[in-house]
């Protein structure tokens, strides 16, 4: 796992945008896994800024897969992750809606929604680069503590803490749906490159557990330690709980420039 600690969000966003664009230039029909929440927004704004400036690669053939989705929201709800990704990223990038996929939360199809989503990812050839955030309880996508490290896309129940954390996207915690569909940890681990971004002190404890704690279901994000190509980008506040922070900074400072993320 590569841990990169940077002083500001703008540097993190630029580096992640570079990694995404490098991939799309190398592979114009790349498959991108995208995350929601507040953390990835600076990355999305940077990608859109570059496209508006006319310096971005062509996204016409890129396919996008979201990590997760709420169950029980009215169709077309602005708080749904499908609408969020369209609003923040894929519409401004000019991506055709047919290239943007998410788990299907419609009530009639819930029983096999997970299997259908797994098949769609497989049919696309698997995810090349998966962007990730981390919950303050260590959740990855919506895999809450206790989720199997081998889990696949399925329905899950959110913890009270996650519903409180996500209340800002709704009127109140009570309005945050209790159920979600989420890629499993086993699904996420099959993406070819995992890129996790964490910013702010509220993530410091979860992040330290994920990066330096034991691998286990109690901290779902610790599953990253099992992946051969995982990059974790942090600001100073999110890195505050890391014991080896000085070493990560030294590694980054002396990293050969040809290596990339
Ligand atoms: C949600 C999403 C996660 C995300 C997490 C953190 O629960 N399902 O994918 O990582 O929130 O969100 P934020 O970046 O807003 O802190």
pLDDT, tens digit, 9 for 90 and up, residues 124-160: 999 999 999 999 999 999 999 999 999 999 999 999 9
Mutation choice for ligand 1 from 13, 34, 36, 147, CB with most ligand atoms inside 8 A: 36
As a whole number, mean pLDDT of residues 165-176 equals: 94
Whether 139 sits among the annotated catalytic residues: the reply is yes
Residue 75: pLDDT over 90: no
% residues pLDDT > 90 (the chain): 97
Is this model's pTM higher than 0.95 or not? yes
pLDDT at 6: 96
Which of 128, 144, 165, 235 is flagged as catalytic?
144
Residue 84: pLDDT over 90: yes
pLDDT digits (tens, 9 = 90+) for 42-65: 999 999 999 999 999 999 999 999
| Tokens matching residue 59 | 């996204």
Residue 38: pLDDT over 90: yes
Is 24 within 8 Å of 54 (Cβ atoms)?
A: no
pLDDT at 190: 98
Q: What string of H, E and C letters represents the secondary structure of 52-97?
A: HCCCCCCCCCCEEEECEEECCCCCCCCCCHHHHHHHHHHCCCCCCH
Q: Which ligand 1 atom minimizes the distance to the CA of 67?
A: 9
pLDDT averaged over the chain?
97
Mutation choice for ligand 1 from 12, 84, 137, 139, CB with most ligand atoms inside 8 A: 139
For ligand 1, say whether the CB of 172 is within 6 Å of any of its atoms. no
Whether 68 sits among the annotated catalytic residues: the reply is yes
Residue 8: pLDDT over 90: yes
For ligand 1, say whether the CB of 9 is within 6 Å of any of its atoms. no
**From ligand 1's centre to the CA of 188, what distance in Å?**
15
pLDDT at 260: 86
CATH number assigned to the domain with residue range 2-255, chosen from the 4 options 3.40.50.300, 3.40.50.1360, 3.30.470.20, 3.20.20.10:
3.40.50.1360
Protein residue closest via CA to atom 9 of ligand 1: 141
For ligand 1, say whether the CB of 162 is within 6 Å of any of its atoms. yes
Which of 46, 88, 128, 139 is flagged as catalytic?
139
For ligand 1, say whether the CB of 33 is within 6 Å of any of its atoms. no
**From ligand 1's centre to the CA of 35, what distance in Å?**
7
pLDDT at 167: 95
Residue 77: pLDDT over 90: yes
Distance in angstroms (rounded) separating the CA atoms of residues 28 and 85: 20
For ligand 1, say whether the CB of 202 is within 6 Å of any of its atoms. no
């Amino acid at each position: 796992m590569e841990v990169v600690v940077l002083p500001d969000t703008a540097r993190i966003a630029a580096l992640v945008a570079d990694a995404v664009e490098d991939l799309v230039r190398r592979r114009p029909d790349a498959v991108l896994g995208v995350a929601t929440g507040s953390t990835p927004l600076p990355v999305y704004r940077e990608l859109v800024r570059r496209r508006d400036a006319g310096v971005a690669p062509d996204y016409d053939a890129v396919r996008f897969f979201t990590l997760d989705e709420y169950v029980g929201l009215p169709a077309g709800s602005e708080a749904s992750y499908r609408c969020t990704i369209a609003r923040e990223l894929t519409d401004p990038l000019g991506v055709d809606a047919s290239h943007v996929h998410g788990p299907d939360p419609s009530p009639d199809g819930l029983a096999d929604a997970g299997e259908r989503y797994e098949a769609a990812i497989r049919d696309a050839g698997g995810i090349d680069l998966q962007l990730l955030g981390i919950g303050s309880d260590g959740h990855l996508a919506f895999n809450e503590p206790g989720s199997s490290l081998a889990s696949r896309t399925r329905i899950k129940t959110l913890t009270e803490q996650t519903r409180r954390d996500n209340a800002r996207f709704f009127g109140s915690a009570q309005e945050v749906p209790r159920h979600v569909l989420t890629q499993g940890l086993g699904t996420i681990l099959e993406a070819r490159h995992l890129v996790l971004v964490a910013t702010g002190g509220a993530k410091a404890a979860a992040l330290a557990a994920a990066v330096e704690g034991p691998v286990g279901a109690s901290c779902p994000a610790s599953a990253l330690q099992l992946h051969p190509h995982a990059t974790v980008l942090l600001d100073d506040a999110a890195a505050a709980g890391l014991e080896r922070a000085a070493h990560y900074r030294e590694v980054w400072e002396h990293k050969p420039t040809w290596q990339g993320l």
